[in-house]
Amino acid sequence: MPAGQPLTLLWPAERGNVASSRLGDEAIADLQLDSVIRAIVGTDAPSGRLAARERFAWQVLMELLWEPEVIAHRQALLSDLLDHPDLRQNLEGVLNALEALGEVQHGGRYTPHVPPSLERVARRLADLELLVDVVTRLTDALRGTPLQSTGFRSLAAALGELRDSPEFAALERELPGLRARLASVRSITVGVNLGPDLAPESATILDIASTPVEGRRALLARLLSRTSGDEGLTPLQRGERSPLSRPNELVRDLRNLLGQVVAPIDAALARYARMSTDLVRQLGAELALLLGAARLIERLRGAGLPMCAPECMPMEERRAELADAYDLVLAVSQPPDTERIVTNDIRFDAHAGRVWVLTGPNRGGKTTFVRAIGLAQLLCQAGLLVPAQSARLSPVDAIYTHFPSREQTRPGLGRLDVEAERLASIFRQATPRSLILLNEALSGTSALEALDLARGVVRGLRLLGARAVYVTHLHELAASVDDINVTTPGEGTVASLIADSSEDGTDGASVVRRRTYRILASPPSGVSFAAEIAEQHGISYAQLAELLHKRDLA
């Protein structure tokens, strides 16, 4: 790692400018990224620290990395954590202290003052003690593990070099003595002169002692505070309300005296001005994210769900091959419903299908399938493991989504206007290296109008050449993919996917079908389960007629 640079786990040394892009707000909401981040961060930390962990997780997961080297670098870190439970346990033990160092004011808290500031010197001493403790424990944890990742090995080397340096060794030896010297001042003895009426007239400091003073404090409180009782120096208030901050001759004498006490400590710490906590300030946030991801992976695997490190293919190939992929949002729901999770294969390439038109019954798994595609791509490009048995993916330069259930009309615009505006925005920004996920787009108009509009969108997707999925109830659209391929220029094939269902007996003259939640490459079947859903919610014609009869309205 470059000298003077903060130590990092998530980034390779000498990385320079890393190519990446930011996930858009629409994709964040449609893919329900907040659920994934909460699952990674967990709940086992104070609320303030949890908030900091969440902010950093958002920062990492919203950045789509384009470079396979950086992605592989992060995957290797997770592999080390998953392969070595003892390492993970040791790092969990030092995490809180490491995060505390990250909370230290940037640039350190030590700037020499004349006279020395008691509070500043005390804080600087505590910071350096914490730094020495963290470096020592981190070095020991990493030194005893057969590490494979470049990230952990580089960190171990940098920490080992720091710990073996003469400056660090001298600091480690001197800190206990400095702490003992600072802690030796436990009390002061104040002499108070009284007037004829026994009213306090003046006071002076007589002695500094290493043991606390016991006894009544009301008189001293009257000297140093505007109120009586136990306020004043006991308990000692800090900050602007502290008695030590009020203009008072005795207070000024006390501050000068304490400044003389801490002057030798201040001089000693000045020799270590180059030893900054900035060196490790970002390690806590990075390690918290990696440990949280490792815990989530272990939990999912324990539930029988696969998680794998994806292989990155060239971005120009615009391919994706995932075996037994599933929707991570469904997997991390509370309570988890792993028995209902059905895995599916996902494939994008120029021949099998680069643009997929997905049809099938309502509640047949179409939305979860599309979300699984987006989250797998996002997690891959964050350098994390993806929910699949195996995966090979080309990075994308952006993920665009359009889930109309989130759309709201605006004055002067109907739902179709808003949908069309969103689709136009996607086509103005997307490139052949993008991923486009459209879920029930153009459903805000009649089926006849929607079919014509949707054909134009799918033809545009083929012409663009981006990977895309178009979820729709327009079975005629899926049935026309061969005609679209013939009549529209483009490199990638448009193909049909269906949310499968199977026969499950008969009910009188009709066939009863059951959702399987399997997504298959197949021509459309035309099954929507609309009648079944209507009956579940009590809005079939027979149910509505019975209801209205009961209400004496029919």
Instruction: State whether residue 42 is helix, strand or coil.
Output: coil
For 281-302, the pLDDT digits (tens) are 899 999 999 999 999 999 999 9
Tell me if the bond preceding 112 is cis, omega within 30° of 0: no
Q: What is the pLDDT of residue 479?
A: 92
Q: Does residue 70 lie in a domain region?
A: yes
Question: Is residue 7 a part of any domain in this protein?
Answer: no
**What is the per-residue pLDDT across 65-92, written as a single tens digit (0 to 9) for each?**
999 999 999 999 999 999 999 999 999 9
pLDDT of residue 270: 85
CA 19-21-22 angle, to 5 degrees, is: 150
Residues 387 and 254 in one domain: no
pLDDT in tens, 222-279: 555 544 444 444 444 444 444 445 556 666 767 666 777 788 888 888 888 888 888 8
Give the residue, 241 or 439, on which the prediction is more confident. 439
229 three-state secondary structure:
coil
Residues 175 and 188 in one domain: no
Pairing of strands 355-359, 494-507: parallel
Question: Which tens digits make up the pLDDT trace of 472-508?
Answer: 988 889 999 999 999 999 888 999 999 887 655 445 4
Considering the domain architecture, whether residues 328 and 352 belong to the same structural domain is answered as yes
Return the structure tokens found at 313: 């293919």
**Are 451 and 336 found together in one domain?**
yes
Is 430 a domain residue? yes
> What is the DSSP-derived secondary structure letter of residue 272?
T
Pairing of strands 390-393, 311-312: parallel
Residue 170 lies in a domain: yes
* Domain assignment present for 5: no
Average pLDDT over residues 102-109: 68
- What pLDDT is recorded for position 48? 87
Arithmetic mean of pLDDT, 307-330: 96
**Phi and psi based region of residue 101 (left: phi greater than 0; alpha: psi -120 to 50; beta: remaining):** alpha
| 149-200: pLDDT as tens digits | 999 999 999 999 999 999 999 999 999 999 998 888 777 777 878 888 877 7
Q: In what order do the strands lie in the sheet with 344-348?
A: 311-312, 390-393, 320-325, 344-348
Assess if residue 391 is contained within a domain.
yes
Which residue has 């509070």 as its token pair? Answer: 119
The vertex-416 CA angle with 413 and 417, nearest 5°, equals 40
Looking at the structure, tell me whether residues 340 and 382 fall in a common domain: yes
Distance CA 369, CA 361 (A): 13
Q: What total number of domains does the chain contain?
A: 3
What is the rounded distance in angstroms from the CA atom of residue 357 to the CA atom of residue 86? 47
| Size (the chain), residues | 554
- Identify whether residues 222 and 337 lie together within a single domain: no
Same domain, 367 and 226: no
Query: Do residues 61 and 378 make contact, with C-beta atoms less than 8 angstroms apart?
Result: yes
Q: Using alpha carbons only, what angle is made at residue 321 by residues 319 and 326, rounded to the nearest 5 degrees?
A: 125
Which DSSP category does 413 fall into?
Answer: B
Tell me if 501 sits within 8 A of 492, measured CB to CB: no
> Which DSSP string corresponds to 334-397?
SS--GGG---EEEEEBTTTBSEEEEE--TTSSHHHHHHHHHHHHHHHHTT--BSSSEEEE---S
Distance, CA of 515 to CA of 53 (rounded, Å): 39
Name the token pair of 523.
Answer: 């021509």
Asked if the model's pLDDT at residue 114 lies above 70, the reply is: no
Rounded to whole angstroms, the Cα distance separating 77 from 75 reads 5
CA atoms within 13 A on the CB side of 369: 32
Are residue 157 and residue 211 in the same domain, yes or no? no
Higher per-residue pLDDT: 319 or 537: 319
Q: Please report, for residues 44, 109, 396, the alpha-carbon distance to residue 123 in angstroms, rounded to integers and kept in the order given.
A: 27, 7, 47
Separation CA 318–CA 90 (nearest Å): 41
pLDDT category, 36, cuts 50, 70, 90? very high
Is 348 in the same domain as 378?
yes
The residue written with tokens 């004829």 in the block is 196
* Cβ(201)–Cβ(194) below 8 Å: yes
CATH number of the domain that residue 39 is part of: 1.10.1420
* 43 class by beta-carbon count within 10 Å (0-12 exposed, 13-18 middle, 19+ buried): exposed
Does some domain include residue 98? yes
Same-domain check for residues 511 and 449? yes
Instruction: Please check whether residue 393 is in contact with residue 325, taking contact to mean a CB–CB distance below 8 angstroms.
Output: no
Distance CA 437, CA 416 (A): 18
Greatest CA separation found in the chain? Answer: 113
CA angle at 107 for the pair 278 and 96, rounded to the nearest 5°: 45
Whether 519 and 458 map to the same domain: the answer is yes
Calculate mean pLDDT across residues 314-330. 96
Shared domain check, 467 and 417: yes
Q: What is the C-alpha separation between 280 and 135, in angstroms, rounded?
A: 9
The candidate with the shortest Cα–Cα distance to 262, out of 184, 176, 174, is: 184
Q: Estimate the crossing angle of helix 166-183 against helix 150-163, to 10 degrees.
A: 60
* Residue 368's CATH number: 3.40.50.300
Q: What is the token pair recorded at 505?
A: 């007996």
- Tokens at 113, concatenated: 């003052």
Q: Which domain holds residue 354?
A: 305-550
